[in-house]
Chain A
Amino acid sequence: MAVEPLAAEQMRPTRRVRRRIGSIVLQVGLLAGSFFMVMPFLWMLSTSLKLPKEIFKYPPIWIPTEIAWSNYRDTLTALPFDRFYLNSAIVSVSSTLIQVLAAALAAFAFARLRFKGRNPLFLLYLATLMIPFQVTMIPNFILISRVLGWYNTYQALIFPTSFSAFSVFLLRQFFSSLPMELDEAARMDGASTLRIWWQIILPLSGPALAALSIFSFLGSWNSFLWPLVVTASNEMRTIPVGLSAFQGEYNTAWNLLMAGSVIALVPVLAVYMVGQNWFQRGITLSGMGGR
């Protein structure tokens, strides 16, 4: 009995040292990791300020000999970026709002309500995840263009991307983990079904809703093929579609493409800086980190 505390006493400094070494190793590892993560961004920034002849120089030049601010001017005058921004913002925000709302309602039904055929219906819905977008693109396009007459409109950009089986699945799994007793108690107190959804389930699902919002916003902001197919003019195009104009058949204007990418990235980066804590909590709690 008397020996053990002593031994523990002697152990303590070594453990502290060991812990410190561990922490240094961790920090070095993280630094190396972040270096590799940041490098493409630095290259993008560097290229956006280069003259064409320096872009592919070997060995690579990180700081251009002549800083070509004119790339930014040329990029902004070549394409209506303000319009692209506005379109991307309108489309991403609307489609995220609709998606979270619709998915939360559907997930609530699948997770908390009992009705005939619930599970087969859910499985059937999940099965749609297996169909690649390329297969449904043309039928979707026919529906949008010929049936609804929505070609080259915001509706065409927003609605087809606003409903996804994945988001319903994600929220259903989260909702199912909440105790059923909550609903029962609320119902005893006279709450309606919608009220249970709104006042019991949603407030408890903050992190899951946050995570879903982020992923659906990012997905919509970066989406390329569908916006390309349903838009016909720069008035309706989003940033990714607009940017691809710099990649030509024979030549790619890398400096302009990178300047455009920097311009496109700034607002997203700003949103991330502001909501950093929210995003991290959402991603850790929902288990959707990069694992």
Chain B
Amino acid sequence: MRTRVLTILALLGVLAIAVTGCAAAPPAATAPGETVVTWAMWGSPAELATHQSVADAYMAENPDVTIEILSEPWGDYFTKMQALWAGGDGSVIPDILFLWPTPSYAAEGVLENLQPFIDRDGYNVDDYWPDLLESAKYDGDVYGFPRDIGLEVLYYNKDVFDEVGVPYPDETWTWADLETAANQLKVVDDTGRVSRYGLGMEGGKYMLWVLQNHGALLDDYRNPSACTLDQPEAVQGLEFFANLMATDAAMTSDNLNQAGGDAAVFQAGQVAMIIQNASRVSAFNAAEMNYDVSVVPIPDGGRRAASAGGAAWTMSAGSDNKEDAWHFLQWLQSTNGGQRIYTASGEIFPALQSTAMSDAFLNPDNPPANRQAFLTEGLNATVGRFGYFPEWGYLSGNFVSPHINQIWTGDLTPADAAAAVCEGVNQYLQDEDFPK
């Protein structure tokens, strides 16, 4: 009997060894002397296919380098990267990785300062849209290259506009035109339920309206000394948005989330317009929608204020192969390299002006027809949506968003919410000894 027990234990031991053995082969065996650059990003299976074609194109030009892709789901990408950095194993730490927000990570010391590389090789940083590189700077140095720019345009459903007989939006549209059109396009059924809204726009994008109206959240986005959201021009921007929601011209934020987000409601015909970045284009084209885009309407006397920000390619400070990583990074962020492939795939609006002005973007085969709208917004891209200091995430999450969200739910008036935001923000800035 005793032997039987021992036999079973031995068998389990064998099982354990067998499992160990059959897994021992590493995923990608590399030939000796070959250079490997590990490249990490998040993305859907479709986006991964584009990343793979970018890697293939680079490897075709550089046969002695192998690009190893590490693709992680968006939701837990950052947890995974932090685990890899903390592990400190240079062979598994990604050399080049996609990241947002760059300044916070740069402050933690996990990113390589790219400025010495830029200065040494004369990489052209002037090709980026105005203010865009600001989002990837820390302490005056560049720590990452934004891949794309998240500027918004107005998407509109041409079928709905034709049905109601509203003229298509153009660059002359003001806030008043937008409001009038949204009210004409909305449909309220007999029970009072709104079956179609004029506009669908994420509540979190409110700063677009504030900035257009010459308002701002902070007096300085790199080293703030005071909150300015309670100034009249800023409050007017909040009021414009709140009023659209209160009159059912625009879907409320909660409603929009529950209905699956702006892409879902636009495709389902539940809204006639959305204001969003270029990321929606491929989905709407795949669904064969009859739509186009226009610049975002501005108030009388206002200015265009596209968001100068986007996730950036960065280099790990713990990379074991910085020269090869830098060579790849430079190629990735050039019009003849990665930027063209991403742009041609229709997934992004490129960070480089030269790429946007090339046929990769202005290619007329697919909607939207009015690609000029993106260029117009790009040339007017500006800072103002987020702070470029490491404490921004905490500040925004604790003192800004909670009060702003109460505007969209109707619990606070824009003026009261702005006052509450500024009270919290100013106190925090004082406690943390800003300006530094």
Contact = CB atoms under 8 A, between A and B. Distances in A.
A250 B263 contact: yes
B164 interface: no
Contact of A142 (B2, B70, B88): B88
B101 to A, nearest CB: 14
Nearest to A90: B19
A94 B76 CA distance: 26
A191 B267 CA distance: 73
A225 B76 contact: yes
A34 to B, nearest CB: 26
B15 A153 contact: no
B357 interface: no
A137 interface: yes
A248 B43 contact: yes
Indicate the size class of the contact surface on chain A: 35 or more
Given A54-B268, A192-B2, A145 B92 contact: yes
Contacts of B20: 153-155
B367 to A, nearest CB: 16
> By DSSP majority rule, is chain B's interface helix, strand, loop, or mixed?
helix
Contact of A254 (B23, B47, B260, B279): B260
Interface in A190-205: 191-192, 194-195, 197-199
Given A52-B287, A228-B80, A145 B26 contact: no
Contacts of B48: 245
A153 B279 contact: no
B12 A151 contact: no
A249 B83 CA distance: 20
A25 to B, nearest CB: 34
Interface string A99-112: 00100000000000
Nearest to B260: A56
A16 interface: no
Contacts, number: 132
Instruction: Give the most central of B4, B16, B42, B283: most A CB within 10 Å.
Output: B16
Contacts of A253: 44
Interface in A7-31: none
Given A138-B86, A246-B44, A251-B44, A153 B76 contact: no
A163 to B, nearest CB: 13
Contacts of A114: none
A291 interface: no
A185 to B, nearest CB: 16
A235 B71 CA distance: 13
A248 B72 CA distance: 10
Nearest to A149: B89
A51 to B, nearest CB: 8
Contact of A248 (B12, B28, B44, B86): B44
Contacts of B261: 251
B63 interface: no
Contacts of B32: none
A128 interface: no
B27 A236 contact: yes
Interface in B46-90: 46-48, 70-76, 79-80, 82-83, 86-89
B88 A146 contact: yes
B358 to A, nearest CB: 24
A133 to B, nearest CB: 12
B29 interface: no
B293 to A, nearest CB: 16
7 nearest CB pairs, A to B = A154-B23, A56-B260, A244-B73, A78-B45, A153-B23, A233-B27, A250-B279
Interface of A: 52-58, 78-79, 90, 94, 97-98, 101, 137-138, 141-142, 145-146, 151-155, 158, 191-192, 194-195, 197-199, 224-225, 228-229, 232-233, 235-236, 241, 244-251, 253-254
